[in-house]
Amino acid sequence: MSEIEIAKAPPDELFQLETDTWTEPYWNGCKDHILKLPKCGDCQHYVELGASHCRHCLSQNIEWVEHSGKGKVYSFTIVRFPVIPSLQGSVPYVPAVIELEGVDGLRLISNVIDTPLSDIDVGSEVCVHWHDRNDGVSLPRFKLIKP
Ligand SMILES: [Zn+2]
Ligand SMILES: [Zn+2]
């Protein structure tokens, strides 16, 4: 019988939240479990998270639009070895770049969790799941949508 390895969640210490004017609406949305993405109010392109202006038209007129949280795995890695002691018990975990449905020019760096490692692939369809930390920060993570 072969053991099925499941992608775990990395420990909270791994991610330190720093917000600024350009990311605060995003993190406030996360608190409400709503994925809010920055979009240019002038040319309607999505804006890179953290950018102060649209790289297409240089407008600073950024609007925040709600997203369904559905997307695809654009790339991923599997971390199997605990590089720091606090990671013991949290491996394997899967850092991934998520391409969100209908969104061009903005990708999220996150984790794929609660999924057999062998099921995760580039192009796998995922949807957002929220992780509420004790310090009031909520992080978007992604699980596979089973066909
Ligand atoms: Zn623009
Ligand atoms: Zn544009």
Domain containing 139: what range?
A: 68-146
Report pLDDT for 58.
Answer: 96
* 12 occurs within a structural domain: no
pTM for the whole structure: 0.90
Domain identity same for 45 and 87: no
Domain identity same for 50 and 106: no
Q: What is the pLDDT of residues 53-68, one digit of tens each?
A: 999 999 999 999 999 9
Domain identity same for 74 and 29: no
Note the ligand closest to the C-alpha atom of 105.
Answer: 2
Report pLDDT for 38.
Answer: 96
Q: How far apart are CA 11 and CA 129, in angstroms?
A: 16
Cα-to-centroid distance, 103 and ligand 1 (Å): 14
Report pLDDT for 82.
Answer: 86
Domain of 116, CATH number, reads 2.40.50
Residue ranges for the chain with pLDDT beneath 50 = none
Cα-to-centroid distance, 131 and ligand 1 (Å): 32
Nearest Cα to Cα of residue 124 among 79, 78, 74:
74
Note the ligand closest to the C-alpha atom of 57.
Answer: 1
Amino acid at site 119: D
Report pLDDT for 147.
Answer: 66
